[in-house]
Amino acid sequence: MTHSGVPRRRRRSRRRTRALVRRVLLGGLVVLSLVGLTGGWIGFRGWQARAHLLNAAGLARQLSVDVVGGDAARAQRTLAALQEQADAARTATGDPGWWLGQRSPYAGDDLEAVRQIAVAIDDLARRAFPTLLRTDLAGLVPREGRLDLARLRSVSAELSGADRAVEETRTRLAAVPTDDLFAQLRDALSSLRAEIDRLADLTGAADQAARVLPPLLGADGPRRYLLVSQNPAELRATGGMFGAYAMIQAENGRVTLTRQGTSADLTRFDPPLPVQPEQRRLWNDLPGRYPADVNLGPDFPTAAALYREMVRRRTGTAVDGVLAVDPVVLSYLLKATGPVPVPGSPALVGDTVVRALLSDAYRDLGTREQDTYFAAAGAAVFDAFLTKNVNVRALLSAFDRSVAERRILFWSVHPEEQRVLGDSRLTGTLPEKDTVPTVGVFLNDGSGAKLGYYLRFSANLTVGDCQSDGRRELRLRVAVHSTAPRSGLSESVTGLALSGDPYTARTFVSVYSPTGGAVLGGRLDGKAAAMGSGTDRRRQVTVATVEVKPGATRTLDLTLLTGKTSAGTAELQLTPTVTPWTTQVVSAPSCDQ
């Protein structure tokens, strides 16, 4: 019994072991099958999502064409199709299988990114685009010299809702990690972020306009403003020397031009107006002494406040704000309004107005005649903008481009209105804190001439190594090229010829570090050069003198440090010039990688 029982117990043990192995194998097969099914299901759903997202992207582009073309009926049909495709993409990426895949160690980040892209497009299609299609954009521009403030206020709440939806989408997409995504998905996410950034600029500007325009245009009582023309033929940091100005009055949405003048009429201030200590160390008392020098620094509110006080002291009129534009803005507006006649002069046309104002006028007219012509041209375009029946979307597109290029700047003396505008491009502020490391390159004429019309600029910014103290190295190259002729310019153009040669343009190039950063040093054409230095708004500033002969190019290279940041991106803030800058920013991986 004893000997026969042992084999039986061994046989039972072997059977239990084989049963256990079968259960383990069976369980493993079930798990593997489930994983395979899940992977297959995710692959199928991914294929569906990709198809729907590609369709949605095409429909979004078509929607833009429909809106710009003014085809409201077709735009509504396109929107309905876009909403259907966006909802299908969201559904395809929202089931339990996809949720499980998002938590896998290998493809999880990619699946999460696809999910967020689908959610973003669906949210925009449902929450933002319908509002923008319903909004009567005609309420944002004047008709017969008057803006309908009641209509403007009626669309304000809807525009605010659309802007919130866009901002929420932008914030959510900005939080999606990109470092471990496969290249195609990372590029798609980057493109979508860029598109939403542009959309956010538009909705933000429309929301701000709907909120601030009623009080700005006299809904609560008459307002007065200075309309200032910045002349980039004689460069200043915010865009150009403040030349001709006009006083405009706004009441109940109706805007009228009341008087005109020039900075030369205001003459020199002695003693000078008070200037901020940091600005004085860079530019002495020049901004407070000469109306043409109030904007040697790049912060427009500072310059506008100085200019307002100068006008008040000379004319006795205190204004509620300052609006600055340049001739390039007029070229954009004229493409929307069509040619504008000027009494006693050729009509202003979009393609030639910059040359007419910044080159031909100096060649053909004397100093006093130039002032008269500039005033007449400004009044003509102002009148056309207020009274002509123009294409609303073309006009808004012109404004959008002008604001994006910092060619339209506005400052209000009323703090509550300035707070609504925040740090948008319209305000022309140089922030004391960066969200992304920002390098400023600002230009001031040092020739006492109008040679800025002939200058062309480029800037290349490269994000370099991560430093042990948490900062990041940046490398900046600025090139200045002169297209000026070697002879034949009038004295109105060559001016004081402070460089010694009437045809050599001297430009003071001020380079501002990111906030909390530093400018480590620089070279001009590869050689050491003396440079001034200072600080402004928590930024280190280096000022280089660059003289360029006709046909020549000078190159300025600088090394900078950011404040503490892990970001692999950077931005440029530049003085607007006659011809837009050629720019390139080369990013790098985050320091956290």
**Cα 216 from Cα 320, distance rounded (Å):** 9
The most confident of the ranges 28-37, 340-349, 506-515 is: 506-515
For residue 295, pLDDT over 50 is answered with yes
> Using 50, 70 and 90 to split pLDDT, how confident is the model at 88?
confident
Q: 321-325 and 223-231: which strand pairing?
A: parallel
pLDDT digits (tens, 9 = 90+) for 187-225: 777 777 777 777 787 777 778 778 888 899 999 999 999
pLDDT digits (tens, 9 = 90+) for 533-577: 999 989 999 999 999 999 999 999 999 999 999 888 999 999 999
> Using 50, 70 and 90 to split pLDDT, how confident is the model at 64?
low
Residue 144: what pLDDT? 73
Half-sphere exposure of 404 (CA within 13 A, CB side): 14
**Cα 428 from Cα 409, distance rounded (Å):** 6
For residue 54, pLDDT over 80 is answered with no
> Using 50, 70 and 90 to split pLDDT, how confident is the model at 21?
very low
> Using 50, 70 and 90 to split pLDDT, how confident is the model at 105?
low
**Cα 231 from Cα 328, distance rounded (Å):** 10
> Using 50, 70 and 90 to split pLDDT, how confident is the model at 25?
very low
More confident residue, 116 or 357: 357
For residue 419, pLDDT over 70 is answered with yes
Three-class SS state of 36:
helix
246 - beta bridge partners?
227, 260
Whether this prediction's pTM lies above 0.85 is answered by no
Q: 438-445 and 571-574: which strand pairing?
A: parallel
DSSP-assigned letters across all residues of 258-296: EEEEEHHHH---SSPPP--HHHHHHHTTHHHH-GGGTTS
What number is the average pLDDT over the span 270-280? 94
More confident residue, 543 or 396: 543
Residue 35: what pLDDT? 34
The CATH topology of domain 223-419 is Aminopeptidase (3.40.630)
pLDDT digits (tens, 9 = 90+) for 321-359: 999 999 999 999 998 889 999 988 899 999 999 999 999
**Cα 302 from Cα 308, distance rounded (Å):** 10
For residue 3, pLDDT over 60 is answered with no
Residue 30: what pLDDT? 34
* Preceding peptide of 339 cis, ω within 30°: no
Write out the two tokens for 353. Answer: 């107005």
For residue 459, pLDDT over 70 is answered with yes
**Cα 475 from Cα 464, distance rounded (Å):** 7
Longest dimension (CA), the chain: 132
**Cα 408 from Cα 335, distance rounded (Å):** 17
What number is the average pLDDT over the span 99-121? 73
Write out the two tokens for 410. Answer: 């506005």
State residue 298 phi and psi, 5-degree precision: -85, -5
> Residue type at 109?
D
Exposure class string for 137-160: b at 16+ Cβ within 10 A, else e:
eebbbbbeebbbbeebeebbebbb
Burial class, 392, CB count within 10 angstroms (exposed 0-12 / middle 13-18 / buried 19+)? middle
| Range from 10-19, 172-181, 298-307, 546-555 carrying the lowest mean pLDDT | 10-19
What are the structural domain ranges in the chain? Answer: 33-216, 223-419, 431-586
